[in-house]
Amino acid sequence: MKHDIFSLKGKVALVTGGNRGIGKVVAEYMADAGADIAIMDLDDASAVAAAIAAEYGVRATARVCDVTRREDVRAAMASIAGELGTLDILFNNAGIVMHKPALELEPGEWEKVLGVNLNGVFYVAAEFASRLVSEGKGGSIVNTASMSGSIVNIPQQQASYNTSKAAVIHLTKSLAVEWADKGIRVNCISPGYIATELISFVSPELLETWRGMIPFKRLGRPEELAGAVIYLASGASPYTSGCDIVIDGCFTVV
Ligand SMILES: NC(=O)c1ccc[n+]([C@@H]2O[C@H](COP(=O)([O-])OP(=O)(O)OC[C@H]3O[C@@H](n4cnc5c(N)ncnc54)[C@H](O)[C@@H]3O)[C@@H](O)[C@H]2O)c1
């Protein structure tokens, strides 16, 4: 390529929730595009980081970190920057889901979903941006929202999840405007149903119902999100910020 605009070579990408699922697969594709990788996850992702380093010849590291604990997020980020030199890209992806009618939520369950999916996303984005500002450089943030941020899924009831993801979409737009003059772009992706462990608790009957509702008649795969994340993270999208890319096999189109 004459203009290697999708390359992430020389960039350091932080991926939250990168021990498995979408985060792990997208981290692999970002490494394939040349980025050094840092994973923050509740679980120890050092084996994932070691495999990425071996396969793609990049530097890769991992920190155990709960994104709902802002002090821990700050400390993990400082430690990663100490090891890899800096940070350039954030794939802000850690999240959880709960299928439960709103009237049956136990105390603390609403707060738990909003705590990870909204507060966690904000804490990581804010600590990342603050680090970039102190280094006097720009960067790119890609948040993982969901199609559930724009529509209400049925037949399962998941108001906490839907609300958290709608908030991620508007947080993305708000931060994009606030940080435009700092050279920090903020975008999000909104996946449809993607086959990962997140939905491993879903019954075969419900999965069949979902398949019937998706015009593509199948769930998506994590690797089908990687191109959009790399586009938003890379020099291919310098004028794109505050945007939400929906990747859902046409689920929300009909
Ligand atoms: N799978 C889907 O159908 C789907 C659809 C739309 C959006 N999403 C979103 O994509 C993102 C990734 O989902 P996935 O399907 O890969 O899920 P997953 O459960 O397979 O992986 C999520 C990862 O996040 C980590 N994590 C959870 N809570 C954390 C916390 N507090 N701090 C740090 N790490 C934490 C987990 O340990 C895990 O490694 C989530 O934000 C999810 O809401 C998923």
pLDDT tens for 162-210 read: 999 999 999 999 999 999 999 999 999 999 999 999 999 999 999 999 9
Question: Which of 64, 198, 214 has most ligand 1 atoms within 8 Å of CB, for mutation?
Answer: 198
State yes or no: is 161 an active-site residue: yes
Residues of the chain below pLDDT 50: none
- Measured from the Cβ of residue 82, the count of other Cβ atoms closer than 10 Å reads 9
Question: Which of 80, 96, 162 has most ligand 1 atoms within 8 Å of CB, for mutation?
Answer: 96
Strands (E), 89-183: 89-92, 139-144
Q: Is residue 253 part of a domain?
A: no
Q: Is residue 252 part of a domain?
A: no
Q: Is residue 63 part of a domain?
A: yes
My answer on whether omega of the bond before 155 falls inside 30° of 0, hence cis, is yes
Give the model's pLDDT for residue 72.
Answer: 98
Exactly one of 160, 165, 193, 234 is catalytic; name it: 165
- Measured from the Cβ of residue 176, the count of other Cβ atoms closer than 10 Å reads 19
Task: Assess whether the C-beta atom of 42 lies below 6 angstroms from ligand 1.
Answer: yes
Q: DSSP 3-state assignment of 90?
A: strand
Residue 73 structural domain: 12-246
Q: Is residue 254 part of a domain?
A: no
Q: Name the residue with the closest Cα to ligand 1, atom 32.
A: 66
Give the model's pLDDT for residue 1.
Answer: 81
Task: Assess whether the C-beta atom of 17 lies below 6 angstroms from ligand 1.
Answer: yes
Distance 93 CA to ligand 1 centre (A): 6
Q: How many domains does the chain have?
A: 1
Exactly one of 146, 148, 160, 241 is catalytic; name it: 146
Q: What is the C-alpha to C-alpha distance for residues 137 and 15, in angstroms, rounded to an integer?
A: 19
CATH number of the domain where residue 192 is located: 3.40.50.720
Q: Name the residue with the closest Cα to ligand 1, atom 20.
A: 21
